[in-house]
């Protein structure tokens, strides 16, 4: 175990130097100081996983420092060092919340062993929390709601392809529920008892994305202080969902092609391939064939991904599902916000069914949450409870004008938020990176909206 951040506090500079050198060789990130006051300042400004402090310190003792550290962060690990044969001060430190203590003189191997135990306990604690949250999420997870022909046809296809090992490309507009479809494919597959791992390829820079996907070896780049498994390794024997795959660079696309063809990855900084057993499910809201023609996406990767294409219908093509979705989102939102149950008036439900929902189900969910927060009483019936863009022109738009409707929806939402990208993306039910891309497509200038 290494890579954790450690703060050393000792009034003897030689001890600080010795421990710093030894711990850095083990892969830890280390800071040190000979002053309790400076230690407190460093702790407030930085995040440390463990503090190693001498009990006997000038001006401010290690026991007082321990008290202050625990006040700032009750979860921080503190190891106390004392030169006294008496265990009195060490026992007092343990009562004050210290995880362990060492008597001077001690060997570095002893400290290394103690730290290993402490960080191992931390890891188990985090894993336990993660599993509890995962089980909680599983119990309350979003469902694929609806009974329209379009949705029933989709779920019939999902049931057929789930049993295969084929690579799948899910296409559809932003907010249609592509990730939910991917999860459902995994849930119905023979891999269901193994991990379902997901990543949004458009949400991080290329270098970080490659490290996340394929992992790296210690020293592969500045800041790579230890070996790290990539998400393909984390997803071993399970399914890996690559959302916004069209946003990947050509360099990353070559490496993804290798994964699908050879079933192996090469971590950054390594020369030896690692075998992986993962089913790849990719998704995009872009036209990848157009990107191929413009040189932005590799044709060979497209054909490898598009073995079984799955098209998720937009909400405007399954409007009969809107009442069921509204009922589900109202119930879910009221439970999450701990407010009294709400219902929606027939008139307002008709307004929701008339809207074309350029942000699809995610936009509908956001509109319902807004209404549940703003409504006075137990019935959502006022148009003012709905976002402005939902009250505009609706399904009277012919199909060829949908792009114009989307452009107008983005413009009006940006104007409402005075150009705030995060708020606008949330309101539209899309990722900020998707909103930036659509703004470029429609030549919408943010600075003109802000002014």
CA atoms within 13 A on the CB side of 223: 3
**Domain stop point among 290, 313, 336:** 313
Residue 420 domain-assigned (yes or no): yes
Question: In CATH, what number is assigned to the domain containing residue 241?
Answer: 3.40.50.300
300 and 328 belong to one structural domain: no
Question: Considering its fold, how many domains does the chain have in total?
Answer: 3
Question: In CATH, what number is assigned to the domain containing residue 48?
Answer: 3.40.50.2300
Each residue's pLDDT expressed in tens, for the chain with a length of 451 residues: 456 889 999 988 999 999 999 999 988 899 999 999 999 999 988 888 899 999 888 888 888 999 999 888 888 899 998 876 556 777 788 888 898 888 888 889 999 988 988 888 877 776 665 555 555 444 444 678 999 999 999 999 999 999 999 999 999 998 999 999 999 999 999 999 999 999 998 877 777 888 889 988 887 776 666 778 889 999 999 999 999 999 999 999 999 999 999 999 988 888 888 899 999 999 999 999 999 999 999 999 999 999 999 999 999 999 999 999 999 999 998 988 888 889 998 888 888 988 888 889 988 998 898 888 888 788 888 767 777 767 654 444 344 445 676 787 788 888 888 888 877 877 776 767 778 777 877 788 766 665 5
Distance, in Å, from the CA atom of 329 to the CA atom of 326, rounded to the nearest integer, reads: 5
Angle, vertex CA 62, rays to CA 57 and CA 66, nearest 5: 160
Nearest partner of 367 among 340, 391, 394, judged by Cα: 391
Distance, in Å, from the CA atom of 450 to the CA atom of 443, rounded to the nearest integer, reads: 15
Host domain of residue 116: 5-121
Nearest partner of 378 among 343, 331, 328, judged by Cα: 343
331 and 442 belong to one structural domain: yes
Confirm if 410 and 439 have CB atoms less than 8 A apart: yes
Whether pTM exceeds 0.85: no
Question: In CATH, what number is assigned to the domain containing residue 404?
Answer: 1.10.8.60
150 and 288 belong to one structural domain: yes
């Amino acid at each position: 175990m290494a890579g954790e951040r450690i703060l050393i506090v000792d009034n003897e500079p030689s001890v600080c130097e010795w421990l710093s050198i030894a711990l850095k060789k083990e892969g830890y990130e280390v800071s040190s100081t000979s002053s309790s006051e400076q230690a407190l300042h460093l702790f407030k400004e930085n995040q440390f996983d463990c503090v190693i402090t001498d009990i006997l310190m000038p001006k401010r003792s290690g026991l007082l420092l321990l008290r202050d550290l625990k006040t700032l962060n009750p979860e921080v690990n503190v190891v106390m060092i004392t030169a006294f044969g008496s265990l009195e001060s060490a026992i007092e430190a343990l009562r004050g919340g210290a995880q362990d203590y060492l008597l001077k003189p001690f060997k570095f191997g002893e400290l290394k062993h103690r730290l290993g135990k402490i960080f191992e306990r931390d890891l188990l604690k985090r894993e336990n929390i993660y599993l509890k949250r995962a089980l909680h999420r599983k119990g309350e997870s979003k469902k694929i709601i609806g009974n329209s022909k379009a949705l029933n046809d989709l779920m019939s296809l999902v049931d057929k392809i789930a049993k295969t090992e084929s690579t799948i490309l899910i296409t559809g507009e932003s907010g249609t529920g592509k990730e939910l479809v991917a999860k459902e494919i995994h849930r119905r597959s023979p891999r269901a008892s193994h991990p379902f791992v997901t990543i949004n390829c458009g949400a991080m820079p290329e270098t970080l994305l490659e490290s996340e996907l394929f992992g790296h070896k210690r020293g592969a780049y500045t800041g790579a202080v230890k070996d790290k498994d990539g998400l393909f390794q984390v997803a071993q024997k399970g399914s890996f969902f690559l959302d916004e795959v069209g946003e990947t660079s050509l360099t990353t696309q070559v490496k993804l092609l290798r994964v699908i063809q050879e079933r192996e990855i090469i971590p950054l900084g390594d020369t030896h391939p690692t075998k992986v057993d993962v089913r790849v499910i990719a998704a995009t809201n872009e036209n990848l064939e157009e990107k191929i023609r413009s040189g932005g996406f590799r044709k060979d990767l497209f054909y490898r991904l598009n073995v079984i294409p799955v098209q998720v219908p937009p909400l405007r093509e399954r409007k009969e599902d809107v009442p069921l979705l509204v009922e589900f989102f109202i119930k879910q939102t009221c439970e999450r916000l701990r407010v009294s149950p709400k219902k929606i008036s027939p008139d307002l439900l008709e307004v929701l069914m008339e809207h074309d929902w350029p942000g699809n189900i995610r936009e509908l969910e956001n509109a319902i949450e807004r209404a549940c927060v703003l409504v006075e009483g137990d019935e959502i019936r006022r148009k003012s409870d709905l976002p402005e863009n939902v009250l505009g022109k609706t399904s009277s738009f012919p199909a060829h004008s949908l792009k114009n409707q989307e452009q107008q929806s983005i413009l009006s939402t940006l104007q409402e938020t005075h150009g705030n990208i995060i708020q606008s993306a949330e309101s539209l039910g899309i990722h900020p990176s998707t909103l930036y891309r659509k703004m470029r497509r429609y030549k919408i200038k943010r600075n003109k909206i802000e002014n």
